[in-house]
Amino acid sequence: MERATAIAEFERMARRVGRRPEDFLPRRLYRYELHVVELVDLRPEAARAAVELKDEDVQGDELRACQAIGEAAEYTGREGIIAPSATGSGTVLAIFFDRLEPASIVRTLDYEAWESPPMA
């Protein structure tokens, strides 16, 4: 959701696979206008506890627990998930484009081209 979070997630992804951020460039960071009807909101601690998702599941390098929640959300017709960032700061939003309701809006506003590693 926040530019700094997107940069931190990008750097974390590169580290997790043992590569440098430069190896994944060029890249674009898009900014969207959003209105979605059916999101799973995992920001509250109680919501994560309800699906048995621990902070170490969110922040660790093992992705199975988070992927299982995402698969369940998509299977049950949700349009996406909003959750705390794995970096420990900020919020991430994953949209399931094939599950969008007719009343939902996902409109590209603009993008920032990354030719070199972005600065926060």
- Domain holding 71, by residue range, is 32-111
CA gap 42, 33 in Å, rounded? 21
In a domain, 5, yes or no: no
CA gap 83, 23 in Å, rounded? 27
In which element (H, E) is residue 47 found? Answer: helix 45-50
Residue 40 structure tokens: 């799973």
Q: Write down the pLDDT at residue 85.
A: 94
Q: Write down the pLDDT at residue 63.
A: 87
In a domain, 60, yes or no: yes
In which element (H, E) is residue 114 found? Answer: strand 105-114
In a domain, 6, yes or no: no
In a domain, 15, yes or no: no
In a domain, 50, yes or no: yes
CA gap 44, 62 in Å, rounded? 21
How many separate domains does the chain show?
1
Listed residue (96, 3, 14, 9) closest to 59, CA to CA:
9
In a domain, 82, yes or no: yes
In a domain, 83, yes or no: yes
pLDDT per residue of the chain (120 residues) written in tens, 0 to 9: 899 999 999 999 999 999 999 999 999 999 999 999 899 999 999 999 999 999 899 988 888 999 999 999 999 999 999 999 999 889 999 999 999 999 999 999 999 999 999 987
Q: Write down the pLDDT at residue 61.
A: 84
* 39-41 and 80-84 beta bridge pairing: parallel
CA gap 21, 5 in Å, rounded? 15
In a domain, 23, yes or no: no
36, 42, 76 from 82: Cα distances, Å: 11, 6, 16
